[in-house]
Amino acid sequence: MNSMDLSRHDFQLEELIDRIKGHDHRLIALQIPEGLKMQALEMMDEIEDETSAKVILAADPCYGACDLVHDKMKMMGVELVAHMGHSQMNIDSGMPTQFIDVTYDGDPAIDPVLPILAQHRAIAQARLNEGDISGLSEEEAQDRFLDAVGRIAPLKGAKLGLVASIQHLHLVFDYKERFEAAGYVVEVPVGGARLTFPGQVLGCNYSGDDDEIGHYLFLGSGDFHPIGLALHTGKPLAMLDPYTGDASEMGTERIERILRQRFGLIMAIQESQNFAILIGEKPGQMRRSLALKLKRTLAKHGKKGYLLALEHVGPELIDFYPVDAFVNTACPRIAIDDSVKYAKPLVTPFELEVALGEKKWETGYQFDEIP
Ligand code: SF4
């Protein structure tokens, strides 16, 4: 991100400053995602110049609203946390929080993405006519598991699903009209409680997907959300980047490579005896009940599951344990995006269940979603 881009972001500091003044706060904290941290000191100066509050930067890495620092900040006497770049989740932070979505005012033309959308709509329409998938052989079921696009249950519609990352969400209804004018039937999906806004996606939650949507357009940059969305939905996905105006699509080879890697890991752990089950300590990543359920499932199959709780998950923190493999119940993207960094297999709960025969191949790859 360059400085011109930053000047086009809205950090909503005036509202924050008004709130600090209104409550006469003396100590507040800022929590800022990695990509915006270079702006932190400037913002701290501005807040301290305009109010009587002192500002602490929560400087640990922050990748989502799942990662709230409230308990630690409360211990330091902080009265308000301003959390930037993410929206509020369905977790109780336990202290006053100002969520600031940091919107970007870029508004790219839709023309470059229209040829990609036309191809994707044709794929979706062809899938509408697909038949029943029951009664597949083991080999056919495994092929289906590895198929990046077309592996999910038959569709009921071929609508264009329009989603965006939080910085660009304010544009979705305007873009819905633009794509409708270009001849598309557009749905802005509404997800579950972890998502705050229509059209929103998180790296661990694409719950707005439904069988009326045949293909997607993502308004945003980078491939973090597109990879998750394509893995979760198995639907063609076009991307329009508000920072550059560039249009692209999520290549099926890329998703198939990830699925082949996941398939390899599932095969690799089939004979494993000893597992460590990782529990994330961050408030919005903690899936204690799931971890305990997996421990019971492993025991049922005569295998051992050790429960390890961590705030951050990294190879240097776990690779040395004498187990055969790891099952991750913390942020789902750790297993998907980082597994090559680990010396031993690192799998998702679903992948463990497939390896144990508790889940079937032919239901397609199931993305690990935090509801
Ligand atoms: S759990 Fe992971 S993917 Fe989900 S919001 Fe947190 S950091 Fe993002």
pLDDT of residue 178: 98
Q: For residue 336, which of 257, 219, 218, 222 has the smallest C-alpha distance?
A: 257
Ligand 1: residues within 6 Å at CB? 63-64, 66, 202-204, 284-285, 331, 333, 370
The residue whose two tokens read 């544009």 is 171
CA 313 centroid distance within chain: 16
Give ranges for CATH 3.40.50.11840 in the chain: 3-104
- Cα torsion angle, 162, 163, 167, 172, sign: positive
Give ranges for CATH 3.40.50.11860 in the chain: 257-363
CA dist., res. 247 & res. 123, Å (int): 18
CA dist., res. 292 & res. 274, Å (int): 15
pLDDT of residue 1: 41
Give the homologous superfamily in CATH for domain 111-250. Answer: Diphthamide synthesis DPH1/DPH2 domain 2 (3.40.50.11850)
Count the alpha carbons within 13 Å of 113 in the hemisphere toward its beta carbon.
30
pLDDT of residue 3: 42
pLDDT of residue 163: 98
Q: For residue 305, which of 293, 316, 318 has the smallest C-alpha distance?
A: 293
CA dist., res. 119 & res. 104, Å (int): 29
Task: Please give the distance, rounded to the nearest whole angstrom, from the Cα atom of residue 203 to the centre of ligand 1.
Answer: 5
Q: Candidates 31, 60, 62, 67: which one to mutate for ligand 1, based on the most atoms within 8 Å of Cβ?
A: 67
pTM: 0.91
Condensed to tens digits (0 to 9), the pLDDT of residues 329-339 reads 999 999 999 99
Task: Please give the distance, rounded to the nearest whole angstrom, from the Cα atom of residue 55 to the centre of ligand 1.
Answer: 26
The CATH class of 3-104 is alpha beta
Fold of 257-363: Rossmann fold (3.40.50)
pLDDT of residue 133: 60
pLDDT of residue 69: 87
The residue whose two tokens read 């910085």 is 167
Ligand 1 atom showing the smallest separation from residue 89 Cα: 5
Condensed to tens digits (0 to 9), the pLDDT of residues 115-153 reads 999 999 999 998 887 766 666 777 777 776 666 655 556
Q: Which residues of the chain have a pLDDT value below 70?
A: 1-6, 131-135, 144-153, 362-363
Q: What's 208's DSSP letter?
A: T
CA dist., res. 299 & res. 306, Å (int): 11
